[in-house]
Chains A and B, each alone.
Chain A
Amino acid sequence: MPKTKTEAETETETPKMKPRPIVRLGIFLISHSLLVSVVCCTAGVLALLLLPLLAKNTYISENALMPGSASSMISNRDISEANRLANDLSDLNLEPQDTAAMESRRILTKYMSDLGAEVSYHKFHPKPNQFHPLHFFSGPDSTSTVENFSCSAYVVNTVGIIRAPRGDGKEAIVLVTPYKFGKSGLAETLSLSIAYTVFSLLSRVTWLAKDIVWFVADSQYGEYAPVEAWLRDYHTPVFTGLGTLNADTCVKIDDLYVLERKPIAQSKISDGFRRAGTMAAALILKVADRNELLEDTLTIYAEASNGQMPNLDLINAVNYLAVHRQGLRVKVEKFFTLLDSRWLEILGEIFELLGKVARSLNPGWKFGISAADYIEGSATLASSLYYQALGIPTGPHGAFRDFQVDAITLEISPKVSSHNKARHNEFLLRGGRLVEGVIRSINNLLEKFHQSFFLYLLTSPSKFVSVGVYMIAFALLVAPLPLVAASLYAEAYQLDLGVKNTKSTPTATASDALGITFRSWKWLYAAKEVFLIHVWGAAVLLLPYFICQVPNCSPTSSTVIWIFLSMLSLLIFYFIVGSPYTHVSISQPEKKGEWAILKSVTISAVFIGLLLMSVVNFATAEIGALLLVPMCLMAQPLKLDIKAGKLRSFLRAICNLVLAFVAFPPAAYFVVKTIFEGFDSINVGEFWNWMESLWAWNSATYIYMGMVHLPCWVLCLHVLLHSC
């Protein structure tokens, strides 16, 4: 007790307590915010460019997977059966489409049930893309009521299920092949034969622990829709019997079942919805139409909605089996235009040189990669980042991710197709063995995929950048935002941060004190404006709903209408609420601080917005930060710069204008497009189509555009055009 007393006494003796180190550090950073922000932003961009260097090799993290430990069991019998199926199907191509579709479905059913699989049909009615603002967050809606449909618009998927002979029936592996019944191409038939080869094998094996579901999606209305519809029905049990409901309305479909009933054992075929257990993983198998020059190639598509990725282990397993067992070349998507970009090459060479220097200093440091690898890695990384940022699934696997099922699309493209029988069979064998290996490996799983990463960027099929590494680039980019906001705020109020040694504070008069308290609430005006602009942004987001109602509207005119309406609504907002600059109630010298406070609040809002977005979709936040952060930090009234008349301020003004132009969403879109695809392919309507795809796929990027990006851009324009 006495000790504390003495401590209290010493405290009273020293009038100013020394703040804690962390506070002092904060104050130090804030007072040097300019330097800090320059350093941080540069480091952030540099860290992003360094990511291909920091990529790690992938490894199988889940012990249970054991890819490639079992030898393949596909026999020639399976392949010849598959060829027979393919021949039967392609014979139908001469017939009219409707009968061909039905007949091919019948053939497929017959083949499936001959293998002892349970076959059922899944019918659904494709719904058009429509913008429903209220459905935005609800995800895949379960209440798809069929209102007015025609029988021809019905899509019938075929589902075959093999029950694991000794499994518990609680889990399933899904194999999806999109197939256009009636008008299929050669490639689609080929993918069907690969799937059949595997299915035929799996109907015989004794080692299945999970049921196998082969879903032949009727892809005449796109590949995504049937998969999504089936998954929705799979996960929402209906107890009234869908089949009977639809059967009496559609005679044609009914016919199909009558056809079915006649020939084969009936117990295995049903028109009711058949289910297996929860899905452990799904593979979408496609054969590409194009041919590769050198060797059989496998392309992996993994991005699902909002930048969600399947577990890295799934990609690893597929990659391992394809490369080390089947000798396929594995690719992931990349931006080919980046491959021959000059600046990237120079950068790659610099990094290579640095790596060499580092290695000569210490042989243990091995971070250098060759320039070619670097370019390859960055092109893949950029595409990975872009497709994640878009938030649109790159294939039917996206539908699975919405139900927390890990899925990827495997697109196999054969080497230049000679109509050589042996070559054809070898291709079937390779594809079949790959799928068999992946399925056997997933079959070994005991739990859901959980061991490896979910948050990662790919720089090649066997290299990845994990969340812990790529977060650094983003963190560095956004770190200056709160510092600059705080320093602007402090500057505007002439606050003493304890660094500058001012002795005037204790001698403040009473009137000054009143003024200070009055002024200290002034930021609320700026906050109000920022808030209103965000409300306006939300309104802009909803505009397409009304524009969609306009009949016969071309994308170009839609874009123009949208922009026009947005500007109009902004003006109306100003009329209703009044310009933020009307309520300047305080004395004239404060005017200088006005825009600073507005900028400070804007920056805080952007900071919060970017952080929130980085949780939802990291890639969007990263790209957004690249555009927004420099603009926010640079923004300063043009008038001031012009008044100053120095070269430096002139340059700053030009920088500001360029950044403001680039950050405008349509402008950004077209600039990027010109860079990648050349100038001639520019069309204003494309922007509308692009945005349409964003909302049609319920991408969070769309909301980010309206709620963070656009308001920030408008507010920065405000600051630029501020009349001070």
Chain B
Amino acid sequence: MAMMVLLLLNNAIAYGSHSSSADTTMHTNNWAVLVCTSRFWFNYRHMANTLSLYRTVKRLGIPDERIILMLADDMACNARNKYPAQVFNNENHRLNLYGDNVEVDYRGYEVTVENFLRVLTGRHATAVPRSKRLLSDEGSHILLYMTGHGGDEFLKFQDSEELQSHDLADAVKQMKEKRRFKELLIMVDTCQAATLFNQLQSPGVLAIGSSMKGENSYSHHLDSDVGVSVVDRFTFYTLAFFERLNMYDNASLSSLFTSYDPNALMSTAYYRTDIYQRRLEEVPVTNFFGSVMETIHTDSAYKAIPRKISNRAGISMAVEKSVDHDDRRTSIDSNFQDQISHTKTKDQICPFTRTMNSFLDKVERIEHPDSLVNCGLIAMLPLLIISAWLSS
């Protein structure tokens, strides 16, 4: 009974602290939502943009199950594609972006404003599979990349709908309230991309767009073999930046942001940092584009670390295991139970006795003593043989 009370108290403290300040939460995992919003063959480059970024974040360590890839049209299988089932982002055709290991979560007419907002806010119908959900938590860093055709405070979806800056800001606000992210980087490659961020208010959001209000974003080059432009300038230079990096590089976000040359871009890259708390120089790009997290060194697996953090560790484990929010809750609880029962009494004992105790503990828990004895006897045999051989 007392344990139950403790448990509840523990949870209450943990959650209370989360809601009071998000900064204290630790970065535990990375997600990426990559959206190509435009249809039609002549928008080939938008799909190529998105797929290139998909490849980059995957290379830098975000696993497929944490990437939501939305492609509004299928250029690879378009009849006009000279290279069936392949997508290139460069006219040298060295890299096929549409290989076998591409997992598209939303494709074709599934890419709508509604579905996009559902993904962000996590309000899905029950039948939507886990692979199509953004199962982030309060420790998640999310990269949201969008490309397509945009204008003043809107982004066109599918040539029929629009996502307005208000919609985006509202969705981000909801995400914040539902503690679906710790930090969010919104990267947009459209015309007048900067206007899409005008309404954002939620803390922890960092936004970067390819062009200012009244500016167009241009494509980088035309592939005269395929007959279309294959990549946009902003994305091209972003990719060029990341091609120089590997998972363990420590380049900061500010180095990424300063790498954009307005002359090469033919537009001015804009970034909005006023609602982001950390200094860009201190944030490695892999915080968003990769999946590199700060490691916490502990002496042993179950050392009594401050409760809050232990709780978080539990969550990060739970994400991989659990099926749903509720499941996760129960698994957290069971974790706690475990830890508490094992650590409660042993806090004040010296290291040696602790290991000794744990050894004894293990011995106690062995179920078949006979087999242990048999194993011991068999282990004696080689010893016997070696000693006989040495003595002869």
Contact = CB atoms under 8 A, between A and B. Distances in A.
A486 B332 CA distance: 91
Given A69-B224, A440-B227, A205 B42 contact: no
B41 A444 contact: yes
B79 A70 contact: no
Contacts of B227: 66, 69-70, 207, 440, 444
Interface stretch (B80-88, B293-301, B361-369): B80-88
B79 A166 contact: yes
Contact of A206 (B82, B228, B229): B82
Given A64-B42, A69-B227, A444-B41, A209 B78 contact: yes
A64 B42 CA distance: 6
B40 interface: yes
B42 A207 contact: no
Nearest to B159: A446
A166 B85 CA distance: 11
Interface in B287-326: none
Contacts of B79: 164-168, 207-209
Contact of A446 (B41, B77, B225, B226): B41
Interface in A161-183: 164-168
Contacts of B228: 66, 69
B381 to A, nearest CB: 70
A582 interface: no
Given A71-B224, A207-B227, A440-B227, A66 B42 contact: yes
Contacts of B84: 166, 206
B221 to A, nearest CB: 11
Contact of A70 (B40, B77, B83, B226): B226
- Summarize B's interface: helix, strand, loop or mixed: loop
A63 interface: yes
A431 B83 CA distance: 26
Contact of B42 (A63, A165, A168): A63
Interface residues of B, number: 18
Nearest to B39: A446
Contacts of A193: none
Contacts of A205: 82
A158 interface: no
A209 B80 contact: yes
A104 interface: no
Nearest to A168: B79
Contacts of B226: 70
A443 interface: yes
B119 interface: no
B40 A207 contact: no
Given A168-B79, A444-B80, A70 B41 contact: no
A612 to B, nearest CB: 38
Contacts of A69: 222, 224, 227-229
A167 B80 CA distance: 8
A164 B222 CA distance: 24
Contacts of A164: 79
A66 B229 CA distance: 10
A207 B224 contact: no
B82 A64 contact: no
B225 A64 contact: no
Interface in B39-64: 40-42
Nearest to B229: A69
Interface string A146-166: 000000000000000000111
B222 A207 contact: no
A535 B307 CA distance: 102
A70 B224 contact: yes
Interface in A47-71: 63-64, 66, 69-71
Contact of B225 (A71, A166, A208): A71
Interface of B: 40-42, 77-84, 222, 224-229
Range of interface residues on A (Cβ < 8 Å): 20 to 34
A234 B312 CA distance: 71
A465 to B, nearest CB: 29
Contacts of B80: 207-209, 443-444
Contacts of B42: 63-64, 66, 444
Contacts of B222: 69
B224 A64 contact: no
Per CB-CB distance, the 8 closest pairs between chain A and chain B, nearest first, are A70-B227, A209-B79, A71-B224, A166-B79, A167-B79, A207-B82, A209-B80, A64-B42
A446 B224 contact: no
Interface string A422-460: 000000000000000000100110100000000000000
In the complex, which of the residues B41, B82, B83, B222 has the most CB atoms of chain A within 10 Å of its own CB atom?
Answer: B41
Contacts of B81: 206-207
Contacts of A440: 227
B78 A64 contact: no
A70 B229 CA distance: 10
B47 to A, nearest CB: 15
A168 B228 CA distance: 21
A71 B225 CA distance: 6
Nearest to A71: B224
A314 B315 CA distance: 61
Contacts of A206: 81-84
A283 to B, nearest CB: 19
Contacts of B225: 70-71
A683 B229 CA distance: 60
B225 to A, nearest CB: 7
B40 A446 contact: yes
A700 B225 CA distance: 47
A171 to B, nearest CB: 10
5 contacts: A63-B42, A66-B42, A70-B225, A205-B82, A443-B80
A206 B229 CA distance: 18
A446 B42 CA distance: 10
Contacts of A443: 80
Interface string A171-213: 0000000000000000000000000000000000111110000
A66 B40 CA distance: 13
A71 B80 CA distance: 14
B148 to A, nearest CB: 14
Contacts of B82: 205-207
Contacts of B78: 209
B111 to A, nearest CB: 17
Contacts of A66: 42, 227-228
In the complex, which of the residues A208, A209, A440 has the most CB atoms of chain B within 10 Å of its own CB atom?
Answer: A209
A706 B17 CA distance: 92
A165 B84 CA distance: 11
A164 B84 CA distance: 13
A287 B120 CA distance: 61
B227 to A, nearest CB: 3
A70 B224 CA distance: 4
B82 to A, nearest CB: 5
Given A207-B80, A446-B40, 18 more contacts: A64-B40, A64-B42, A69-B228, A70-B224, A70-B227, A71-B225, A166-B77, A166-B79, A205-B82, A206-B82, A206-B83, A207-B79, A207-B227, A208-B80, A209-B79, A209-B80, A443-B80, A444-B41
A207 B229 CA distance: 16
Nearest to B226: A70
A444 B43 CA distance: 11
Nearest to B41: A444
Contacts of A208: 79-80
A444 B42 CA distance: 8
A304 to B, nearest CB: 28
A207 B80 CA distance: 4
In the complex, which of the residues B80, B227, B229 has the most CB atoms of chain A within 10 Å of its own CB atom?
Answer: B80
A302 B224 CA distance: 29
B292 to A, nearest CB: 40
A440 B82 CA distance: 11
A241 B220 CA distance: 54
In the complex, which of the residues B42, B84, B222 has the most CB atoms of chain A within 10 Å of its own CB atom?
Answer: B42
Nearest to A167: B79
Contacts of B41: 64, 209, 444, 446
